[in-house]
Amino acid sequence: MLRVGYPATLAAELLRDFPPEVELIPLPNDLDHDIEIDVWIPDPYPKRAICLWPRLRGVRLILSLMAGTEWIPGVAGPGVTICNAQGAHSISTAEWTLSAILATLKYFPLYLNVQRSGVWKRRFEADTHYARITGDARPHYPPIMLEELTGKSVLLVGYGSIGKEIERMLAPFHVELERVARSARANPLVHAVSELDNLLPHADVVILILPSTAESYHLIGRRQFALMRQGALLVNAARGPIVDTDALVDALNAGHIRAALDVTDPEPLPEGYPLWNCPNLLLTPHVAGSSPQFAPRSLKTAADELRRYINGEPLRNVVQAAV
């Protein structure tokens, strides 16, 4: 019988759909002895999982509950097959992305400050904010109190399952969408990442939803920020290291761009770090995938992979094949 180790912090009822051919082994965070398992479902929090790894013996297959698995190969080595939970977080992350864009364009952070101040007339600060961030200093009457997403130019950098879900949710806004992935393809048209610098100057909104790899490290840096149009919105729902944080801080403080981030580099973001106090920034602490459906969807994906593994069928979400 296949022995499957999983975080003891997960409710056992979430694993009720796992194949009957497996023996489920709960693994506490403070495991104090070595244990033999065939399949490991790591804790979603990497630090906890990394601490547990030295106690595990015989692991042949790792089924991550996350879409990102960048830390796992370095810990487990090349002799283990690694699968991610592709698709399990698409809806929640896409909803966060759309919400972050709308919250920024509707000036919700500014209006939250107005609410807390209890001063109604402060709403006219929105017109000044618009002029400052867009560079459009023409007099407007009535004053501009927010912006629209409809019709804007959106550059979607990353076109996996989450990127496609973001595209689906953007459809009602009739945006002008350009897609970017590692390599170019047609139907729909997807540009190669090598074309990114040529596409950035035309985008009102730039969405990052690509894996963190050696190739994507600091994909967005000083050169890219300089290419972005005045007031463009950078949305990072991927991984922090894709963006050069020092360059981002400078671009925000200069008033050149605005940003909405669910991820940062470093992460967790230390207290007092300059990014916390940057203007034109909406920041959430890596929560985009953490809805009540996180565990059920991820574990359903893991259960499906286990069935395929037991039946000798190809696994769907392999990110590293054992060598």
Burial of 109 (C-beta count, 10 Å sphere; 0-12/13-18/19+): middle
The string of pLDDT tens digits covering residues 93-142 is 999 999 999 999 999 999 999 999 999 999 999 999 999 999 999 999 99
Q: How many residues does the chain have?
A: 323
- In CATH, the number for domain 90-106+147-283 is 3.40.50.720
Q: What is the pLDDT of residues 247-286, one digit of tens each?
A: 999 999 999 999 999 999 999 999 999 999 999 999 999 9
Told to judge if 89 belongs to the known catalytic residues of this protein, a careful annotator would answer no
> Which residue in 122, 286, 307, 308 is the catalytic one?
286
Please give the CATH architecture assigned to the domain spanning 2-88+291-320.
3-Layer(aba) Sandwich (3.40)
185, 267, 313, 316: the active-site residue: 267
Check if 36 is active-site. Answer: no
Stretch(es) of the chain classified as CATH 3.40.50.720: 2-88+291-320, 90-106+147-283
DSSP reduced 3-state for 303? helix
Q: Helix, strand, coil: what percent of the chain each, to 5?
A: 40, 20, 45
CA atoms within 13 A on the CB side of 153: 11
Q: In sequence order, which ranges of the chain are alpha helices (DSSP H)?
A: 46-52, 72-76, 90-105, 108-117, 125-134, 161-170, 196-199, 222-227, 245-253, 294-310
CA 186 – CA 203 distance, rounded (Å): 20
* pTM, full prediction: 0.93
Catalytic residue among 179, 239, 258, 297: 239
Residue 286 among the catalytic residues: yes
